[in-house]
Structure 1
Amino acid sequence: MRVSLRQISVSCTVLIGLFSVGAHAQTAPKVKTVGKGNVRHASAAAADAPSASGLSASVLGQFTQAPEEISVKGGLPAATGITNRTPGGGLMPVQTAPRSQSGVTRDFIAKQSPTSNIASLIADLPGATMSSQDPLGMTGDHITMRGMNETQIGYLFEGAPLADPINYAPYTTMLVDTENLGSVTVSQGQPDLNAPFYNAVGGQITATEMNPSHKAGGFIEAGGGTHSANKEFLRLETGDIGNTGIRGFVSFSHSGYNNFRGPGGLFRYHLDSKFVKEWGQGNSIAAVFSYNRQEATSWREPTKAQWKEYGLGFNYASQFTPGESTYYKLNRSNLNSQLIVLPMHFTLADKLKLQVTPYYVHQFGPSLGGENIPASGGYYGTQQYGTITAGTNVNGNILTSSRDPWNQKTGGINVSADWAITKSNTFSFGWWYAYTTHEELSDFRPVYANGQGWSGDVITVNGKILSGYDLNFVQQVNTLFIADTQKLFHDKLTLSAGFRVAMVSRQGTNLIPGADPYKLQGNYFEPLPQFAASYQITPHDQVYINGTTSFRAPESVEAYSQIFDPNSSHAVEQPSSLKPEYSIGEEIGYRHQGSFYNFQASFFNYNMTNHQVTSSGYIPNTNMLISSPINVGGETARGVQAELGFKRWHHFAPYFSGQYLHATFDNNYNTGSGLLPTAGKTAVGSPKFTGAIGLSYDDGTYFGNFQLRYVDTQYTTFMNDQKMPAYLTSDVTLGYRFKSYGRVRHPQIQLNLMNIGDNKYLSGAASYTASANSRVTSTGATYAGSSPTYMVAGNFAAFVSLSAGF
């Protein structure tokens, strides 16, 4: 690995500086614990303890125990919701699930840049590797866990699966503002038994929104930084509304930046709302609403040769040139969404509890890319067209804005119940149903010689919209589960077993002339048993073992439909393998949660069949990216992960995490014209070593933290003939809290510094290939190699924010 001396020296200097702050800092007020109840902070803007995920408490995390409830008087002088009660500075909350599980709380989240998203917030946890694409963390959900990427991980938000149900992209930036995020829990390797997923072969990420405050008030924040970055945020709290038991909040934010490389930038408008009604013992209904409007200039993703030649200069063109499709205004992406989640919890009887979570999510584009199409003699599907007169003819081509106005709607409901048959035995059962429709009709809009016109009329051929794909996709999902947990030996031994069956029905049509097949279906029926056992050696020490199964239905609409282009007489993308990915995994682990530190370690093994490596590629002759799942056969992965988090000592809280991973392909890769000898090769996107060091300081007035992350080299071809270099990066937070003044509660100033060494590196693979070099297959045919493309990490950035409660 090549790491600059500046990167190492700056990281060490900041680490020493954080230790030095304590000598001159003030002392925080003491916190007094009194009895049981909910956590209440002095600030009206501070939230209660994070809400539950919406899943059944007995089957969440393989029968996770309920967290201890504590009432606090006084509290920290902070309006951001922190308590400084989580070890590791908010990176190691208490876990009891009999599986590998980590998390972050407000103690960590509130001290990160307000521009962060969920993926960037969990980058320090063991096994989690985030691929940065911008220095401020506003974009990009590219993450891997144990070699599985984000499309193989299940995402829950308030109990609902809100990732794209077809291509599985999480789009976490659309879900919630960081200021409203209560906690994030990461389950490396396996999903909950009752989780509403059919893709989570690589684990589960569960995010919860903060509960509204019982006191009326609010929270306001404004900030700015490098790259003309800005964010403005306002949350208004209703407090308890009379004697109704209802309380809620509504928040609005605006954020944006200029690209750190190349022209263009991003803007985002976001609205969050949550209202809660509570009554009786364990009865509650919440209403969660979110709206997102976002547009960003797309990033160009270089090959390794292009990165070596151009570095950060490999970008879209800043000036318009007639006939040039790389003009930045032609290459944009829009992420728009509206979501509604209604998690409900009912105590029907002393021994019977019911959880119901209906949800609705609407996600839509468009995505835009520049493309030159033939002025005459081009193709609409397989039919050749005559002459197009719109736009400007340059050397026989017309420059167009290729537009993909994808539109997707999903409604679903997840229901589970828990029946305490005896004091030591609980039986659980449930059902999940979801219905999705997806429409995607691409079109082409002419760009004129002055660089304008792409928002005008679409190009038509014989009265029909010229298009490369006219897709209509319908999906229905039904899953059923049953589970039983038994506690023995005075509740020290917990045995749990469950069985889930997932049924997924898909149907896609393509209305483009010549599409073959015009209609394609996929039906999947997968039995998924799970088993787990844990033993509480002492009140502070736990050992566990588990065996789980999971599957993933094929990814993306393109897996079921052809893609055409006016520059080709035949389809440029064919339907891919429709076989589902299936995983069998085992773990054995140990966990200590004591008065001074928390520690956990686990050994894991999993075997997969029909492993689908998610890649992306450009439609030939265009700047339009499409998902390209590649079936590489079987894969085996083994490794160990560990993390250690200390509770506050003299206001400091250190944290350490790491993972060793050995993942290999089990089969030779079928190129279509023969086999390549990939069996035994290291799996792509699977760094052998990853690790993180964190240090948090908070005395109530001065606060700060430091994170240092290391990611080992990663192969990006199945033949292991090209790899991405290892990298080291670090971030710093420094802040100061002022005293309250009248209605202004606990104002603070916070400075976030990202990539403090200004390390320039490739952060992840945007596409994988079988081989970077030409090869001879098993049949003697020549396989032409091609280079993978890469994501470029953000450079140094600084963001300063001012915030206060009221």
Structure 2
Amino acid sequence: MALNIDSRCLLLALPVLLLANPAFAATPSDDADTIRVTGHPDPEGLLPDQTAAKAVSAISAEFIGKQAPTFNAFQLVGLLPGANVASSDPYGLSVSSSLTLRGLGQDEIGVLLEGAPQNDIGYYYAYPSQFADAENIRQVTLSQGAADIDSPTVGGAGGLLSLTLDDPRARAGALLDLSLGSYNERRAFARVDTGTIAHTNLKAFVSVSDNRADNWRGAGYDTRFHIDAKLLNEWGNGNRASIAVSFNQADTSTYPSPTLADWQANGRGFNYDKHYTDGDTNYWRLYRSPFRNLYFSAPVHLVLGDRLTLDTTTYVQFGYGNSPYGTQLATTGNYQGTQALGPIALPGAEDGVATVLGNYTGRQFRAGDVAKLTLKTGVHTVTAGLWLDYGTDHDIQSYTSINPDGTPTDIWGYADKAIHTADGQLLAYEDERTTTVTKGFFLADSIALTPRLTLEAGFKGVSVLHNGQNYLPGPQAGVHFASFAALPRASLRYKIDDRSQLFANVTTNFRAPDEYTLYTTYDSGMPSGQGNPALKNEYSVSEELGYRVIGANVSASLTAFHYHFRNRQLATVIDADGALINSTINAGSQTSYGLDGEVDYRPAKGVSLYVSGEVLHARIDDDLPAGGDDLPTAGKHAVSSPALQAGFGGTYDDGRLFGSFALKYVGRQYSTFTNDESVPGYATLDLSVGVHLAGLIDQKRTDLRVNLINATNPHVLSGVEAISTNALNTIGRNGTLIAGLAPAYYIGAGRAVVVTLSRAF
């Protein structure tokens, strides 16, 4: 039986006041920015007070604690403006999910946990099922438009998702959460707080969780074992230092992504095969993805004087995993890069062909530090800092034999257990190792021009270096990419009164080409993918104009935004000496603009109603090269960019009964650059109801909660898993017939019910 640990410690006692700790750009004194409101304070942190001169949304532990305990960070922010979450799993365990902000994808969104980057150093993607357990998260902050100037990210044009862990508690205690749900969901979470240790200022917590659930559609199951820990020391006048550790080991299913034709023919029945037959490459056990990750983060804040502070975050990460698939190999006719191989002995081969597990393994190491000094002098607050990041990524596509019943002999894809050639070489389709070094510096000055008006101007410079080695025989041995991005920014904030403010900003962001765009790949000795080291950084300039009010019973925010991108990077098909192969190209420019808004209404104590929305106009500015011609895409809608999104949520807590609801509508999303295929709009609804049992049994905090996920059980496609230039055959600008390629989609998750009992000790 899976031991499952659902950490509800966050519900114990992190008041919303923690969330109302605004980060104003700069002021001559802290009192000048204090916002004092009487009335009904936000009980759930659906719209915590913000003062930054940019669009910022957030949710707190109080709101998180009413959601399903299995939800990952993407699912938790689904109600916030601009957040388009495509999830194929109701419990948030599978990696088959995505998040876009204002139409910008996961590789454009920076993700931080305790100040440390969580994005994959190869693809820049982040995988929310690997993050900290929800019960240990104090706050999730979503900056839709721009990352902070000191954020250690290289792809923040789409914004920044930042997770802050709960602090260890001053008093010793423990928490146990047990959950049971649909599809044999079983989860347990346990957390222990040491309290203040002896006569020191040290305090710590450690939590363990274990989760297991069957696939809600098709055969298979998901498992997740997770550990979070944090050690904190606070002393003097605001000094603090902490070390956070997060370990995750998961073995999750990859849900197959249908084309539109597959969906129309099979609906939710589009799955991997439940039973194995000889030669079956679609068997579900061939598509399980084991991953193991270990993260360390050590943020430190030191008060060096009345006007000078030092902030530094050192981080180290290790990761290894496999994204396998079923395929077949022949005993003859194989190649290693461009080198033809002799006959290979394949276990289980019949008539010279064997069904095998195709591995795509990645082994990553990453370490870095971001440090800044902040000096307050007169009306100025000057910030200066440095960022250094070093990472290695070794990716191998190899093959592992399977047993007669279809089970892989090794699901992890370890090289020593994989298939080798007759002379002992590892048989590999790809074998490449990349070292990435990122260096950055930043300088900003926040000037209180008047008691109400603050101007901030800053500059950030970032260099990215990729050095790689292609270990397969062929003309490409090493790869190299170096770039520098100059990122100026400026903002204004005008404090109308103690409760309302106007803000405006201009920011620049970039995305360096990911390492995989540099390598040439081969199939049967011929190029199947063309590396492109001549790519330029994708660069964007964005502007925001916003109004924010923090009222006694109503808080609201409205932001108008505009983006212009140049050197958009696009994976597509090119004509290379008459052969059509995959490559990444410069796709020109794109323009986006729209409105984000959110309102939190608190009509009575313990009651909160929340509405959010986004209107988005995202257009492709240029025709896209494809197949030696240009596709007619200028003026078309950008992909995965719904023109309309709306959210409606609410919470209730009277001290005995509590509950919440979250309704989200996502409009039509195009899946091709020619707009010849799309996903219809859809809506989802999550509900929860619970009871605080403290006082009925004893005075210890005890909660019983029921979560209903996807209550209406919509049969929908929830998002685009793989975009395409054009789904239908299209005539290019120069008269060439450009063959269509069907996009692939996420199937929206089905209904699930989870019951959780939470007990504090």
TM-score interval w.r.t. the shorter chain?
over 0.9
Q: Which residue of 2 aligns with 1:17?
A: none
The answer on whether the counterparts of 2:22 and 2:49 sit within 8 Å (CA) in structure 1 is no
The answer on whether the counterparts of 1:262 and 1:315 sit within 8 Å (CA) in structure 2 is yes
The alignment's TM-score, normalised by the length of structure 1, stands at 0.87
Are 2:65 and 1:117 equivalent residues in the alignment? no
2:748 & 2:461 partners in 1: Cα distance? 40
1:294 & 1:680 partners in 2: Cα distance? 43
Q: Which residue of 2 aligns with 1:175?
A: 131
Q: Which residue of 2 aligns with 1:758?
A: 713
Listed as ranges, the gaps of 5+ residues in structure 2 are 1-7, 411-415, 574-581
Are 2:44 and 1:98 equivalent residues in the alignment? no
1:149 & 1:710 partners in 2: Cα distance? 18
Quick one: which of 448, 460, 469 aligns to 1:487?
Answer: 448
Deviation of 1:170 after TM superposition, in Å, equals 1.2
Deviation of 1:442 after TM superposition, in Å, equals 2.4
Are 2:373 and 1:417 equivalent residues in the alignment? yes
Deviation string 1:383-402 (CA, Å, 9 cap, x unpaired) is 22232222223454211111
Deviation of 1:612 after TM superposition, in Å, equals 2.8
Matches within 5 A, 1:353-432: 353-422=309-378, 424-432=379-387
Quick one: which of 333, 337, 342 aligns to 2:298?
Answer: 342
Quick one: which of 477, 481, 491 aligns to 2:438?
Answer: 477
Are 2:719 and 1:769 equivalent residues in the alignment? no
Deviation of 1:246 after TM superposition, in Å, equals 0.7
Quick one: which of 573, 587, 591 aligns to 2:544?
Answer: 587
Bigger CA drift: 446-455 or 580-589? Answer: 446-455
2:408 & 2:744 partners in 1: Cα distance? 31
Deviation of 1:217 after TM superposition, in Å, equals 0.4
1:273 & 1:502 partners in 2: Cα distance? 32
1:224 & 1:287 partners in 2: Cα distance? 32
Q: Which residue of 2 aligns with 1:619?
A: none
- SS at the partner of 2:74? helix
1:191 & 1:350 partners in 2: Cα distance? 28
Q: Which amino acid aligns with 1:523?
A: A
The answer on whether the counterparts of 1:152 and 1:202 sit within 8 Å (CA) in structure 2 is yes
Q: Which amino acid aligns with 1:113?
A: A
Change (3 A) 1:702 1:793: same
The answer on whether the counterparts of 1:545 and 1:588 sit within 8 Å (CA) in structure 2 is yes
Q: Which residue of 2 aligns with 1:224?
A: 180
Quick one: which of 627, 644, 648 aligns to 1:693?
Answer: 648
1:580 & 1:636 partners in 2: Cα distance? 17
Q: Which residue of 1 aligns with 2:670?
A: 715
- SS at the partner of 1:142? strand
Quick one: which of 617, 640, 657 aligns to 1:662?
Answer: 617
Change (3 A) 1:43 1:320: closer
Are 2:558 and 1:558 equivalent residues in the alignment? no
Are 2:237 and 1:270 equivalent residues in the alignment? no
1:267 & 1:279 partners in 2: Cα distance? 40
- Number of equivalences: 734
- SS at the partner of 2:559? strand
Q: Which residue of 2 aligns with 1:501?
A: 461
1:406 & 1:60 partners in 2: Cα distance? 43
Quick one: which of 484, 490, 498 aligns to 1:531?
Answer: 490
The alignment's TM-score, normalised by the length of structure 2, stands at 0.92
Matches within 5 A, 1:704-743: 704-740=659-695
- SS at the partner of 2:527? coil
The answer on whether the counterparts of 1:712 and 1:726 sit within 8 Å (CA) in structure 2 is yes
1:43 & 1:96 partners in 2: Cα distance? 24
2:545 & 2:22 partners in 1: Cα distance? 24
Deviation of 1:672 after TM superposition, in Å, equals 4.2
Q: Which residue of 1 aligns with 2:4?
A: none
Q: Which residue of 2 aligns with 1:572?
A: 528
Q: Which residue of 2 aligns with 1:638?
A: 593
The answer on whether the counterparts of 2:83 and 2:100 sit within 8 Å (CA) in structure 1 is yes
Deviation of 1:65 after TM superposition, in Å, equals 9.7
The answer on whether the counterparts of 1:48 and 1:213 sit within 8 Å (CA) in structure 2 is no
2:690 & 2:697 partners in 1: Cα distance? 22
2:343 & 2:559 partners in 1: Cα distance? 65
1:99 & 1:44 partners in 2: Cα distance? 29
Deviation of 1:698 after TM superposition, in Å, equals 0.8
Q: Which residue of 2 aligns with 1:46?
A: 13
Deviation string 1:298-347 (CA, Å, 9 cap, x unpaired) is 11110000000011111111111111111111111122110111100000
Quick one: which of 732, 749, 774 aligns to 2:704?
Answer: 749
- SS at the partner of 1:497? strand
The answer on whether the counterparts of 1:391 and 1:399 sit within 8 Å (CA) in structure 2 is no
Q: Which amino acid aligns with 1:739?
A: A
Q: Which amino acid aligns with 1:473?
A: T
The answer on whether the counterparts of 2:9 and 2:191 sit within 8 Å (CA) in structure 1 is no
- SS at the partner of 2:267? helix
2:544 & 2:472 partners in 1: Cα distance? 48
1:198 & 1:651 partners in 2: Cα distance? 41
Change (3 A) 1:573 1:671: same
Change (3 A) 1:155 1:798: same
Q: Which residue of 1 aligns with 2:568?
A: 611
Q: Which residue of 1 aligns with 2:260?
A: 304
Q: Which residue of 2 aligns with 1:683?
A: 638
Change (3 A) 1:251 1:139: same
Q: Which amino acid aligns with 2:428?
A: S
- SS at the partner of 2:333? coil
The answer on whether the counterparts of 2:572 and 2:725 sit within 8 Å (CA) in structure 1 is no
The answer on whether the counterparts of 1:301 and 1:789 sit within 8 Å (CA) in structure 2 is yes
Q: Which residue of 1 aligns with 2:270?
A: 314
Change (3 A) 1:64 1:219: farther
Are 2:196 and 1:240 equivalent residues in the alignment? yes
- SS at the partner of 1:184? strand
The answer on whether the counterparts of 1:45 and 1:217 sit within 8 Å (CA) in structure 2 is no
1:102 & 1:636 partners in 2: Cα distance? 23
Deviation of 1:42 after TM superposition, in Å, equals 12
Deviation of 1:45 after TM superposition, in Å, equals 5.0
Deviation string 1:256-306 (CA, Å, 9 cap, x unpaired) is 110011111100000000111000011110010011000112111100000
Deviation of 1:788 after TM superposition, in Å, equals 0.2
Change (3 A) 1:430 1:43: closer
Deviation of 1:175 after TM superposition, in Å, equals 2.1
Change (3 A) 1:650 1:277: closer
The answer on whether the counterparts of 1:667 and 1:680 sit within 8 Å (CA) in structure 2 is yes
Deviation of 1:125 after TM superposition, in Å, equals 0.4
Deviation of 1:59 after TM superposition, in Å, equals 6.1
Change (3 A) 1:51 1:468: farther
2:67 & 2:311 partners in 1: Cα distance? 33
Q: Which amino acid aligns with 1:780?
A: G
Q: Which residue of 2 aligns with 1:440?
A: 395
Change (3 A) 1:174 1:351: same
Are 2:171 and 1:215 equivalent residues in the alignment? yes
Change (3 A) 1:614 1:646: farther
2:742 & 2:26 partners in 1: Cα distance? 42
Q: Which amino acid aligns with 1:465?
A: L
Q: Which amino acid aligns with 1:610?
A: N
Deviation string 1:629-680 (CA, Å, 9 cap, x unpaired) is 6643210001011100013515321100000000000110001411111011
Q: Which amino acid aligns with 1:505?
A: L
Q: Which amino acid aligns with 1:446?
A: S
Q: Which residue of 2 aligns with 1:600?
A: 557
Deviation of 1:615 after TM superposition, in Å, equals 9.2
Deviation string 1:758-782 (CA, Å, 9 cap, x unpaired) is 1011111111111111122233322
- SS at the partner of 1:221? strand
- SS at the partner of 1:306? helix
